[in-house]
Amino acid sequence: MLTSFKSDLKPFDELARSFAAKELTKKVEEHDRYPFGEFFTTVVDKMFDVGFLGVVLPEELGGIGGSISALCVILENICRADSSAGGIIFTNALSQEIMRAAKAEALARKVFPKASSASEFLVAFPSYIDPAHAGALPDAMKTGRGYTLTGSLELLVLGGLASRAVIPARIRDGSTYSFFLVDLAEEGIVKSDPVFTLGLHACPAVDVTMKGVKARLIGEPDKGGLYFKEVSSKMHVAAAAMNAGIMKGSLGEALAYSKERFQGGREIINWSEVSMLLAGMAIKADVADMCVAQACLAMEQGENHWGSHCIAAALHIHELACEAVTDGVQVLGGNGYMKDYGQEKRYRDARQVQALLGAAPLKKIDLVRGLAGLAAAGSPG
């Protein structure tokens, strides 16, 4: 839908669609076997080559300088096929956006333009938390011109693949935190094996512990919460676009199956209860599409409260998605439960995507507190 509002997004749409068809669709199940199968390194390299790992990054920093809308269009198409690839694009964009919000251009210049491979270009991020809600964050200690980090962090997404990570840490006790850029090859970092999670298997995360690890401050100290807030509203729409794509994939597979599968002497789509299931999915997928488009427009036009529109859209879309993908399995009956079809993966992935940027109930409370002009729930007092 976004592309019909904004025709300049069409090339992104076409590029992502053809990339998905060529590189992802046929090997979804194989790629999803990770960490028990091979990682799809060559696909990630190709994502780097076509620029998907730097969609929102300015051109002068080695990105393609696209808007969040462009990112959404790409994510939606990619996630329709394989949301793990979408998770990688999302996480890298999230790291880049944090650096951008912090106006850490000098730091970004040291990372991105010089990267000659995907692994150099990737920057890991703990994508499933809002650091403000995280109980414990690593501690940051000022040492000379820089800082050192000590502590642990769960589910650092891309931590096993990327050369660097953006890490939230606390310089002092209290609720404020700061972001740091860490070279993941530094001494003092211990990474776990890839954590086996519900979904997005090929967008792996690791647990890390750090002991006196050298780190560079991103932006200003104690401003992490501010940067995250600025970035999070936009990135919520990107996460929503991922689930909008997953829903479309689920609907597509369910529709196709229901036209082929016979039960009771007819294609199952001709049983009205199956039609009802499909209708429910179609309505949800359509509404999601419209919400993503509207949220993007509101953001780009800088409407009042565009941030909360974006978060509201995302929360709503994630809920719709989790329901739709459950029905998506159901339409295929026993086959829907099997890895030979795409539905079981979408059932898992939609929930994993829902968890991006923090737990949904906490976001809801923050949303309403924001509307009422109150401090976020995680804040002291």
Ligand X SMILES: Cc1cc2nc3c(=O)[nH]c(=O)nc-3n(C[C@H](O)[C@H](O)[C@H](O)COP(=O)(O)OP(=O)(O)OC[C@H]3O[C@@H](n4cnc5c(N)ncnc54)[C@H](O)[C@@H]3O)c2cc1C
Task: Give the residues lining the site for ligand X (CB under 6 A).
Answer: 261, 263-264, 268, 271, 273-274, 330-331, 333-334, 337
Decide which of ligand X, other proteins, none touches 368; Cβ closer than 5 to 8 Å per partner kind.
none
Decide which of ligand X, other proteins, none touches 355; Cβ closer than 5 to 8 Å per partner kind.
other proteins
Q: How far is residue 12's CA from residue 335's CA, in Å, rounded to a whole number?
A: 33
Quick one: which of 272, 301, 304, 373 contacts other proteins (CB under 8 A)?
272
Residue with tokens 């956006």: 97
Asked if 157 and 203 count as a contact pair (C-beta separation under 8 A), the reply is yes
In whole angstroms, the minimum distance from the beta carbon of 58 to other proteins comes to 30
With CA atoms as reference, report the closest residue to 317 among 343, 295, 345. Answer: 295
For residues 146 and 333, which CB has a smaller minimum distance to ligand X in the complex? Answer: 333
For residues 11 and 333, which CB has a smaller minimum distance to ligand X in the complex? Answer: 333
Interface with other proteins, residue 371, by CB under 8 A: no
**Residue 239 carries which side chain, given as an amino acid letter?**
A
In whole angstroms, the minimum distance from the beta carbon of 265 to other proteins comes to 3
Of 53-61, 67-75, 179-187, 262-270, the segment contacting other proteins by CB under 8 A is 262-270
Asked if 212 and 243 count as a contact pair (C-beta separation under 8 A), the reply is no
With CA atoms as reference, report the closest residue to 363 among 319, 322, 323. Answer: 319
For residues 146 and 333, which CB has a smaller minimum distance to other proteins in the complex? Answer: 333
Which residues ranging from 311 to 330 are in contact with other proteins (CB under 8 A)?
A: 322, 326, 329-330
Quick one: which of 125, 128, 177, 306 contacts other proteins (CB under 8 A)?
128
Asked if 119 and 162 count as a contact pair (C-beta separation under 8 A), the reply is yes
Phi-psi domain of 120 (left: phi exceeds 0; alpha: psi -120 through 50; beta: other) = alpha
Would you call 129 helix, strand, or coil by DSSP? coil
Interface with other proteins, residue 258, by CB under 8 A: no
In whole angstroms, the minimum distance from the beta carbon of 276 to other proteins comes to 9
- Residue of closest CB approach to ligand X: 333
Interface with other proteins, residue 88, by CB under 8 A: no
For residues 269 and 311, which CB has a smaller minimum distance to ligand X in the complex? Answer: 269
Residues sharing a CB contact under 8 Å with residue 231, sequence separation 6 or more, in sequence order: 94, 97, 98, 100, 101
With CA atoms as reference, report the closest residue to 86 among 55, 117, 119. Answer: 55
Q: How far is residue 122's CA from residue 245's CA, in Å, rounded to a whole number?
A: 23
With CA atoms as reference, report the closest residue to 181 among 130, 239, 224. Answer: 224
Residue with tokens 């070279």: 183
Of 111-119, 123-131, 210-218, 291-299, the segment contacting other proteins by CB under 8 A is 123-131
Of 1-9, 66-74, 104-112, 264-272, the segment contacting other proteins by CB under 8 A is 264-272
Which residues ranging from 173 to 202 are in contact with other proteins (CB under 8 A)?
A: 175, 195-199
With CA atoms as reference, report the closest residue to 133 among 361, 372, 307, 373. Answer: 361
Here the contacts of 259-262 (C-beta below 8 Å, separation 24 or greater) are 261/332, 261/333
Decide which of ligand X, other proteins, none touches 195; Cβ closer than 5 to 8 Å per partner kind.
other proteins
Instruction: Name the site residues for other proteins (rule: CB under 8 A).
Output: 36, 126, 128-129, 133, 135, 154-155, 175, 195-199, 262-266, 271-274, 277, 322, 326, 329-330, 333-334, 336-340, 344, 347-348, 351-352, 354-355, 358-362, 365, 377-380
